Amino acid sequence: MSGCSSDSAHSGALLSLQCHFTWELHHSKNVQFFVRDRLEDFLPQSTSWRGENYNLQGFLQAGLGHFSEALSRFHSASETLTGPGRLVNYSDLAWLHHERGEQEQSQEYLSRVEKLSRKYPTEVDQPHPTVLAEKAFSLMQFNNDRKLLAVELFEEALKKQPERVEWLSAQAIALVSAKRYSQYSMHKEVLSKMRRARDRDPDNVRLCAEYLYQKVWRKQNVCTEEQQREATALVAQLLENPVRTYRVEAAVDLAEKALQKLPDSRYLKSCLAMCLKWQMDQQRESASQELIERTAALLGEVISLYPDSCFRTEIDLANVLAKSNHSLTQADRLYQDLLQRDLDPASKQMLYNNYAKFLKLYKKNHVASIEYHMRAAAIPVHEQVRVNSITQLQRIHSPNSQVEAFLRNIQEPP
């Protein structure tokens, strides 16, 4: 009985911890692979969030069943973090050793968490601000709903420690990222929050890039001389610390120059591939065969560099191949391969939506296109692609009783 009681107490203590294992961060393997790879890409440029990056990587590796890799990431975080910053790290290690069946080591880390909690006390049942900030950092790596929650958590943390500039900057980035996907226009208060964060953190390249883009976008992409000078200075920084840029021609040029400096960077190769795809999309039917073939070749290379998180890139490659004069059959074959895979609902929805468009535009199979738009719309996932498929079905001009009945009965996501 005493053993059972001890086990129960240990499990209860684990469940009460504030860490990645208790924050409901479990996602499909596709999402875990994608976030893990992006975190690894950004780690060389990581400064203020380096330890938190390692912690989240450790959790993702554990979720994928790679416990040795997870332990290595958590230990790297332990070496990077100090003071209350180790609260989440020690909690994660307590969980990891528990899941590895190493209860003695798990208890050791529980004891370390207790000592740190006594050393850095907070109000009753209130997490330490550093813990709130790390939870926010972790949430903002995932979907839109999580980004909005991250904004709220950063706000709570900043009330306790308003001097933490890196929290303010991360909050602004999470906010503008969430707004970009939820609506096309930015509220003035969002831009104001970004400006305040940028003024306090002028060396944060990503924040400066986001702020500049918002200023230019709100003026219909017409740059003032001041903004042009600002952009020129920013480009020089971006070559050392590359992030996504938004004007297609400039983005292609910037990505190419950055790749010349770091030719082995898989992240920069993926950036250039996406920039070339944006250029193709912008040019539509006038895109040259040379551009199409170059984009397809680079996307293929990116797929080989991200074998675990290349699903979206494979769809992009199929769509690019479809535009080629010689590769329609190859595009169809790639789509057939993707359709045979065991995918999570969100990935299925994205695949069905894209395949429906492929069938209509390139195969001229309108009946099959309707079927796959219906399959995409029937998946109750909070994704814009679902809305897109519903819109495509609503645009069908010829009477279609099957589609009309489907649209009448379909339930919107809760």
pTM above 0.75, yes or no: yes
Check residue 395 and give its pLDDT: 86
**157 shares a domain with 214:** yes
Check whether 4 has a pLDDT greater than 80.
no
- Domain membership of residue 300 (yes or no) is no
Check residue 245 and give its pLDDT: 44
Give the CATH number of the domain where residue 161 resides: 1.25.40.10
Q: Are 395 and 388 in contact (CB under 8 A)?
A: no
- Domain membership of residue 94 (yes or no) is yes
Check residue 256 and give its pLDDT: 85
Amino acid at 379: I
Task: Tell me the pLDDT band of 42, cut-offs 50, 70 and 90.
Answer: confident
Residues 6+ apart with CB under 8 A from 296: 317, 320, 321, 324, 327
Check residue 3 and give its pLDDT: 55
Nearest CA to 303 out of 313, 318, 294 is that of: 313
Tell me the DSSP string of 358-408: HHHHTS--HHHHHHHHHHHHTS--S-HHHHHHHHHHHT--S--HHHHHHHH
**85 shares a domain with 46:** yes
If you average pLDDT over residues 28-42, what whole number do you get? 89
Check residue 239 and give its pLDDT: 46
pLDDT digits (tens, 9 = 90+) for 250-278: 778 777 877 887 888 888 898 889 889 98
**112 shares a domain with 25:** yes
If you average pLDDT over residues 379-406, what whole number do you get? 82
Check residue 205 and give its pLDDT: 66
- Domain count of the fold of the chain: 2
**20 shares a domain with 5:** yes
Check whether 197 has a pLDDT greater than 60.
yes
- Domain membership of residue 204 (yes or no) is yes
C-alpha span between 414 and 411 (Å, rounded): 8
C-alpha span between 159 and 122 (Å, rounded): 13
Percent of the chain with pLDDT over 90: 53
Q: Which of 89, 104, 121 is the last residue of a domain?
A: 121
Q: When comparing pLDDT for 237 and 344, which is higher?
A: 344
Q: Which of 106, 121, 136 is the last residue of a domain?
A: 121
If you average pLDDT over residues 199-211, what whole number do you get? 74
**137 shares a domain with 224:** yes
Q: Which of 59, 90, 121 is the last residue of a domain?
A: 121
Check residue 335 and give its pLDDT: 97
Q: When comparing pLDDT for 235 and 117, which is higher?
A: 117
Q: When comparing pLDDT for 133 and 219, which is higher?
A: 133
Domain holding 182, by residue range, is: 127-237
**112 shares a domain with 132:** no
Check whether 137 has a pLDDT greater than 80.
yes
DSSP state of 64: T
- Domain membership of residue 373 (yes or no) is no
If you average pLDDT over residues 365-388, what whole number do you get? 90
**63 shares a domain with 22:** yes
Most confident region among 34-38, 77-81, 119-123, 387-391 by mean pLDDT? 77-81
- Domain membership of residue 7 (yes or no) is yes
- Domain membership of residue 216 (yes or no) is yes
If you average pLDDT over residues 159-185, what whole number do you get? 81
C-alpha span between 335 and 202 (Å, rounded): 45
If you average pLDDT over residues 124-152, what whole number do you get? 90
- Domain membership of residue 310 (yes or no) is no
**8 shares a domain with 106:** yes
**160 shares a domain with 109:** no
C-alpha span between 119 and 133 (Å, rounded): 19
**154 shares a domain with 70:** no
If you average pLDDT over residues 214-224, what whole number do you get? 51
